[in-house]
A = this chain, B = another copy of it.
Amino acid sequence: MTKYTVKKLAKAAGVSVRTLHHYDRIGLLKPSIRTAVGYRLYGENELLRLQQILFYKELDFGLKEIAALINRPDFDRIRALESQKQLLKARRKRIDRLMSTLDKTILHIKGKIKMNYEELYEGLPKEQAAAWRKEALEKWPDQVKQSEKVLIGMSMEEFEVLKSGFKENFETLASLCGHGADPASERVQQEIDRHYHYILRFWGKPGNQVEAYKGLGELYLADPRYTGTGGAPFGLFMKQAIDHYVTSLPA
Protein backbone atom coordinates (compact mmCIF):
# COMPACT_ATOMS: atom_id res chain seq x y z
CA MET A 1 0.00 0.00 0.00
CA THR A 2 1.49 3.32 -1.06
CA LYS A 3 1.84 5.88 1.70
CA TYR A 4 2.14 9.59 1.14
CA THR A 5 3.78 12.10 3.43
CA VAL A 6 2.22 15.56 3.45
CA LYS A 7 4.57 16.89 0.85
CA LYS A 8 4.17 13.95 -1.47
CA LEU A 9 0.40 14.05 -1.31
CA ALA A 10 0.48 17.79 -1.79
CA LYS A 11 2.61 17.44 -4.90
CA ALA A 12 0.49 14.56 -6.20
CA ALA A 13 -2.70 16.57 -5.91
CA GLY A 14 -1.26 19.97 -6.69
CA VAL A 15 -2.05 21.69 -3.43
CA SER A 16 0.09 23.17 -0.66
CA VAL A 17 1.18 21.44 2.51
CA ARG A 18 -0.59 24.13 4.44
CA THR A 19 -3.80 23.20 2.69
CA LEU A 20 -3.48 19.62 3.90
CA HIS A 21 -2.79 20.79 7.43
CA HIS A 22 -5.87 22.94 7.16
CA TYR A 23 -8.07 20.14 5.86
CA ASP A 24 -6.81 17.96 8.66
CA ARG A 25 -7.60 20.53 11.31
CA ILE A 26 -11.13 21.15 10.06
CA GLY A 27 -11.69 17.42 9.71
CA LEU A 28 -12.21 17.47 5.97
CA LEU A 29 -9.33 15.14 5.15
CA LYS A 30 -7.52 13.33 7.92
CA PRO A 31 -4.40 11.21 7.38
CA SER A 32 -4.98 7.49 7.70
CA ILE A 33 -1.99 7.19 10.01
CA ARG A 34 0.00 9.34 12.39
CA THR A 35 3.53 8.07 13.02
CA ALA A 36 4.90 7.87 16.54
CA VAL A 37 6.35 11.38 16.26
CA GLY A 38 3.18 12.80 14.74
CA TYR A 39 3.95 12.77 11.02
CA ARG A 40 0.89 12.52 8.80
CA LEU A 41 0.68 9.56 6.44
CA TYR A 42 -2.00 9.32 3.77
CA GLY A 43 -3.11 6.32 1.72
CA GLU A 44 -4.75 5.92 -1.68
CA ASN A 45 -8.19 6.48 -0.21
CA GLU A 46 -7.14 9.86 1.02
CA LEU A 47 -5.78 10.76 -2.40
CA LEU A 48 -9.12 9.86 -3.96
CA ARG A 49 -11.00 11.79 -1.35
CA LEU A 50 -8.75 14.77 -1.90
CA GLN A 51 -9.46 14.64 -5.61
CA GLN A 52 -13.17 14.61 -4.84
CA ILE A 53 -12.67 17.63 -2.63
CA LEU A 54 -10.77 19.48 -5.32
CA PHE A 55 -13.46 18.66 -7.83
CA TYR A 56 -16.13 20.23 -5.67
CA LYS A 57 -13.83 23.13 -4.91
CA GLU A 58 -13.53 23.85 -8.61
CA LEU A 59 -17.29 24.10 -8.58
CA ASP A 60 -16.98 26.79 -5.91
CA PHE A 61 -18.46 24.82 -3.06
CA GLY A 62 -17.21 25.97 0.34
CA LEU A 63 -15.22 23.51 2.41
CA LYS A 64 -18.12 22.99 4.78
CA GLU A 65 -20.46 22.27 1.94
CA ILE A 66 -17.92 19.84 0.54
CA ALA A 67 -17.65 18.06 3.85
CA ALA A 68 -21.41 17.72 3.84
CA LEU A 69 -21.51 16.63 0.22
CA ILE A 70 -19.00 13.83 0.44
CA ASN A 71 -20.76 12.40 3.47
CA ARG A 72 -24.28 12.92 2.28
CA PRO A 73 -26.13 10.41 0.08
CA ASP A 74 -26.23 10.47 -3.67
CA PHE A 75 -29.71 11.87 -4.11
CA ASP A 76 -28.69 15.10 -2.48
CA ARG A 77 -25.50 15.23 -4.45
CA ILE A 78 -27.37 15.09 -7.69
CA ARG A 79 -29.45 18.06 -6.69
CA ALA A 80 -26.37 19.99 -5.63
CA LEU A 81 -24.52 19.15 -8.80
CA GLU A 82 -27.44 20.04 -10.98
CA SER A 83 -27.89 23.41 -9.36
CA GLN A 84 -24.16 23.87 -9.73
CA LYS A 85 -24.53 23.17 -13.42
CA GLN A 86 -27.03 25.99 -13.64
CA LEU A 87 -24.59 28.24 -11.86
CA LEU A 88 -21.86 27.36 -14.30
CA LYS A 89 -24.13 28.07 -17.23
CA ALA A 90 -24.99 31.46 -15.80
CA ARG A 91 -21.36 32.18 -15.17
CA ARG A 92 -20.42 31.32 -18.70
CA LYS A 93 -23.04 33.70 -19.99
CA ARG A 94 -21.73 36.42 -17.73
CA ILE A 95 -18.24 35.81 -19.01
CA ASP A 96 -19.43 36.14 -22.57
CA ARG A 97 -21.09 39.45 -21.76
CA LEU A 98 -17.98 40.63 -20.00
CA MET A 99 -15.84 39.72 -22.96
CA SER A 100 -17.88 41.77 -25.35
CA THR A 101 -17.99 44.70 -22.96
CA LEU A 102 -14.27 44.33 -22.60
CA ASP A 103 -13.79 44.46 -26.35
CA LYS A 104 -15.91 47.57 -26.59
CA THR A 105 -13.98 49.20 -23.77
CA ILE A 106 -10.67 48.39 -25.38
CA LEU A 107 -11.82 49.78 -28.69
CA HIS A 108 -13.07 52.89 -26.96
CA ILE A 109 -9.76 53.51 -25.24
CA LYS A 110 -7.85 52.78 -28.40
CA GLY A 111 -9.95 55.40 -30.13
CA LYS A 112 -8.97 57.92 -27.51
CA ILE A 113 -5.33 56.97 -27.91
CA LYS A 114 -5.51 57.46 -31.63
CA MET A 115 -6.85 60.95 -31.07
CA ASN A 116 -3.99 61.70 -28.76
CA TYR A 117 -1.58 60.30 -31.26
CA GLU A 118 -2.84 62.63 -33.89
CA GLU A 119 -2.48 65.54 -31.54
CA LEU A 120 1.21 64.83 -31.80
CA TYR A 121 1.25 66.50 -35.17
CA GLU A 122 -0.46 69.57 -33.78
CA GLY A 123 2.54 71.59 -34.85
CA LEU A 124 1.18 71.41 -38.35
CA PRO A 125 -2.42 71.87 -39.53
CA LYS A 126 -4.65 69.07 -38.31
CA GLU A 127 -5.61 67.62 -41.69
CA GLN A 128 -1.94 67.28 -42.44
CA ALA A 129 -1.41 64.76 -39.70
CA ALA A 130 -3.28 61.95 -41.36
CA ALA A 131 -1.65 62.65 -44.73
CA TRP A 132 1.80 62.67 -43.27
CA ARG A 133 1.21 59.49 -41.37
CA LYS A 134 -0.18 57.85 -44.48
CA GLU A 135 2.91 58.69 -46.48
CA ALA A 136 5.15 57.48 -43.70
CA LEU A 137 3.16 54.30 -43.61
CA GLU A 138 3.87 53.75 -47.30
CA LYS A 139 7.55 54.47 -47.01
CA TRP A 140 8.31 52.58 -43.80
CA PRO A 141 5.28 50.50 -42.90
CA ASP A 142 7.08 48.37 -40.32
CA GLN A 143 8.62 51.42 -38.77
CA VAL A 144 5.27 53.09 -38.24
CA LYS A 145 3.60 49.97 -36.91
CA GLN A 146 6.44 49.51 -34.49
CA SER A 147 6.11 53.13 -33.48
CA GLU A 148 2.44 52.78 -32.71
CA LYS A 149 3.09 49.65 -30.72
CA VAL A 150 5.60 51.59 -28.69
CA LEU A 151 3.14 54.40 -28.09
CA ILE A 152 0.41 52.00 -27.02
CA GLY A 153 2.80 50.46 -24.53
CA MET A 154 3.84 53.83 -23.18
CA SER A 155 2.27 55.34 -20.10
CA MET A 156 0.23 58.51 -20.40
CA GLU A 157 2.80 60.54 -18.53
CA GLU A 158 5.68 59.39 -20.70
CA PHE A 159 3.58 60.17 -23.71
CA GLU A 160 2.73 63.65 -22.49
CA VAL A 161 6.33 64.49 -21.68
CA LEU A 162 7.48 63.20 -25.01
CA LYS A 163 4.78 65.05 -26.88
CA SER A 164 5.34 68.42 -25.27
CA GLY A 165 9.11 68.17 -25.61
CA PHE A 166 8.77 67.26 -29.25
CA LYS A 167 6.38 70.11 -29.86
CA GLU A 168 8.68 72.61 -28.19
CA ASN A 169 11.63 71.33 -30.19
CA PHE A 170 9.63 71.60 -33.39
CA GLU A 171 8.62 75.17 -32.62
CA THR A 172 12.16 76.14 -31.81
CA LEU A 173 13.28 74.83 -35.18
CA ALA A 174 10.49 76.70 -36.92
CA SER A 175 11.50 79.85 -35.12
CA LEU A 176 15.17 79.44 -36.03
CA CYS A 177 14.17 78.94 -39.64
CA GLY A 178 12.00 82.02 -39.50
CA HIS A 179 14.92 84.06 -38.25
CA GLY A 180 17.05 82.97 -41.16
CA ALA A 181 19.40 80.70 -39.24
CA ASP A 182 21.93 78.60 -41.15
CA PRO A 183 20.78 74.95 -41.24
CA ALA A 184 24.39 73.93 -40.62
CA SER A 185 24.89 76.28 -37.67
CA GLU A 186 25.69 74.81 -34.32
CA ARG A 187 22.45 76.10 -32.74
CA VAL A 188 20.29 74.50 -35.40
CA GLN A 189 22.31 71.28 -35.39
CA GLN A 190 21.89 71.09 -31.63
CA GLU A 191 18.13 71.31 -32.01
CA ILE A 192 18.21 68.77 -34.84
CA ASP A 193 20.06 66.40 -32.57
CA ARG A 194 17.25 66.70 -30.05
CA HIS A 195 14.78 66.20 -32.90
CA TYR A 196 16.56 63.05 -34.01
CA HIS A 197 16.44 61.61 -30.55
CA TYR A 198 12.76 62.38 -30.13
CA ILE A 199 12.07 60.62 -33.40
CA LEU A 200 14.10 57.66 -32.21
CA ARG A 201 11.99 57.45 -29.07
CA PHE A 202 8.79 57.57 -31.08
CA TRP A 203 10.11 54.81 -33.26
CA GLY A 204 10.93 52.77 -30.24
CA LYS A 205 13.95 51.03 -31.73
CA PRO A 206 17.28 52.40 -30.59
CA GLY A 207 20.42 52.04 -32.69
CA ASN A 208 21.26 53.37 -36.08
CA GLN A 209 18.21 54.85 -37.76
CA VAL A 210 20.06 57.48 -39.80
CA GLU A 211 18.82 56.22 -43.13
CA ALA A 212 15.20 56.44 -42.04
CA TYR A 213 15.89 59.80 -40.47
CA LYS A 214 17.31 61.05 -43.76
CA GLY A 215 14.13 59.89 -45.43
CA LEU A 216 12.19 61.95 -42.92
CA GLY A 217 14.04 65.01 -44.20
CA GLU A 218 12.74 64.32 -47.68
CA LEU A 219 9.26 64.05 -46.27
CA TYR A 220 9.54 67.58 -44.95
CA LEU A 221 10.79 68.74 -48.33
CA ALA A 222 8.02 66.98 -50.23
CA ASP A 223 5.29 68.36 -48.03
CA PRO A 224 3.62 71.30 -49.81
CA ARG A 225 2.74 72.87 -46.45
CA TYR A 226 6.43 73.39 -45.77
CA THR A 227 7.78 74.19 -49.20
CA GLY A 228 5.32 76.77 -50.39
CA THR A 229 4.34 78.78 -47.33
CA GLY A 230 5.23 82.40 -46.96
CA GLY A 231 8.46 83.31 -45.19
CA ALA A 232 11.42 80.97 -45.11
CA PRO A 233 10.98 77.58 -46.83
CA PHE A 234 10.78 75.46 -43.69
CA GLY A 235 10.71 72.11 -45.51
CA LEU A 236 13.96 72.87 -47.30
CA PHE A 237 15.49 74.21 -44.09
CA MET A 238 14.69 70.96 -42.31
CA LYS A 239 15.99 68.81 -45.13
CA GLN A 240 19.26 70.67 -45.26
CA ALA A 241 19.64 70.62 -41.50
CA ILE A 242 18.92 66.90 -41.38
CA ASP A 243 21.26 66.12 -44.27
CA HIS A 244 24.05 68.05 -42.63
CA TYR A 245 23.35 66.31 -39.32
CA VAL A 246 23.38 62.87 -40.84
CA THR A 247 26.56 63.33 -42.87
CA SER A 248 28.38 64.85 -39.91
CA LEU A 249 27.49 61.88 -37.70
CA PRO A 250 30.32 59.46 -36.87
CA ALA A 251 30.07 56.27 -38.89
Binding site for B on A (CB under 8 A): 55, 58-59, 72-79, 81-82, 84-85, 88-89, 91-92, 94-96, 98-99, 101-103, 105-106, 109-110, 112-113, 151-157, 159
Contact = CB atoms under 8 A, between A and B. Distances in A.
Contacts of A98: 58-59, 88
A102 B88 contact: yes
Given A74-B156, A75-B154, A81 B106 contact: yes
A106 B74 CA distance: 9
Count this chain's copies in the assembly. Answer: 2
Given A73-B157, A156-B72, A103 B85 contact: yes
B152 A75 contact: yes
B153 A79 contact: yes
B75 A159 contact: yes
17 contacts: A55-B105, A72-B155, A73-B157, A74-B112, A74-B113, A75-B151, A75-B156, A75-B159, A77-B109, A78-B106, A78-B110, A78-B113, A81-B102, A81-B105, A88-B99, A92-B96, A92-B99
A78 to B, nearest CB: 5
A154 B156 CA distance: 61
A165 to B, nearest CB: 17
A51 to B, nearest CB: 12
Given A85-B103, A88-B95, A95-B92, A78 B156 contact: no
Given A78-B106, A101-B55, A106-B81, A159 B89 contact: no
Nearest to A52: B105
List 4 A-B pairs, minimum CB-CB distance, nearest first. A73-B156, A74-B109, A92-B95, A81-B106
